[in-house]
Amino acid sequence: MKELTVEAKTENLDRVTDFVNEQLEEWNCPLKTIHRIDIAIDELFGNIANYAYRPGVGPVTVRVEIRREPLSAIITFIDRGVPYDPLQKEDPDVTLSAEERGIGGLGIYMVKKSMDGIRYEYKDGRNILTVEKNI
Amino acid sequence: MTINKQQEGTKLVVALEGRLDTTTAPQLETEFKRSIADVTELVLDFAKLEYLSSAGLRVLLAAQKVMNKQGSMVIKNVNETIAEVFEITGFSEILTIE
């Protein structure tokens, strides 16, 4: 298991993405799967960076664990910002036309659809969000 | 992300390279605001785009709404990951993908 703690700022997105990708590459994760995971990182880390400590800043810890049988990556985001469970967000209506469309909720919806598992927990003043993807 | 533009009259071709994500989507938004006002044919070439997140979708949706009023917008050369994002989010029905 490896961990990286950075300030929750969008400028740190590349650092977090590279940190996770390095470990996925060690396990010969297919590029397509890496891209799907990278999109999930963008959505989840981006949410934390934009909302968790607003208007201030604070830390976010990203933990990567590789599990065997089935070979899967478990990525956990931990922040001490305002309690927020993104899984409570209602799924967007993806059948609306361009004019009727808003963009709210699309990111977390994509994560739910593209990952093999997602769970949220609020514990000891921390938001703990975990995604799981078979690799 | 790198943005390459090519303009011929009122046709604008924009080729993207890299990732269209939370950190880079604002660049594309700024580019569109600056250059699509008089464009009637907007072509987006995604041949070298690795993937996009919802931040990128937001910018594409805004551009599509503008182009619906003044002409056409076509997206070319999308890879499998991007096609999947469009499919999951229903954007494949809103955008014109060739």
Q: What are the φ and ψ backbone dihedral angles of A32, each rounded to 5 degrees?
A: -60, -40
A102-112 residue pLDDT tens: 778 899 999 99
Reading the block at residue B94, the tokens are: 């809103």
* Structural domain count of chain A: 1
* Structural domain harbouring A129: 2-134
Q: Is B89 on the interface with A (CB under 8 A)?
A: yes
Q: Is the pLDDT of residue A60 over 80?
A: yes
Query: What pLDDT does residue A8 have?
Result: 97
Measured between CA atoms, the residue of chain B closest to residue A46 is B22
Instruction: Sort strands B2-8 and B11-20 into parallel, antiparallel or unpaired.
Output: antiparallel
How many angstroms separate the CA atoms of A112 and A128, rounded? Answer: 16
How many angstroms separate the CA atoms of A102 and B72, rounded? Answer: 21
Range B72-82 average pLDDT: 97
Q: Which CATH number belongs to the domain containing residue A83 in this structure?
A: 3.30.565.10
Q: For residue B2, what is the DSSP state?
A: E
Question: How far apart are the CA of B41 and the nearest CA of chain A, in angstroms?
Answer: 18
List CB contacts (< 8 A) between A110 and chain B.
53-54, 85, 88-89
List CB contacts (< 8 A) between A47 and chain B.
none
Domains of chain B (ranges plus CATH)? 2-94 (3.30.750.24)
Which single residue is written with the structure tokens 């514990």? A123
B29-49 residue pLDDT tens: 999 999 999 999 999 999 999
Whole-complex ipTM? 0.90
- The structure's pTM equals 0.94
Query: Smallest Cβ distance to A35: which of B23, B51, B89?
Result: B51
Query: What pLDDT does residue A107 have?
Result: 94
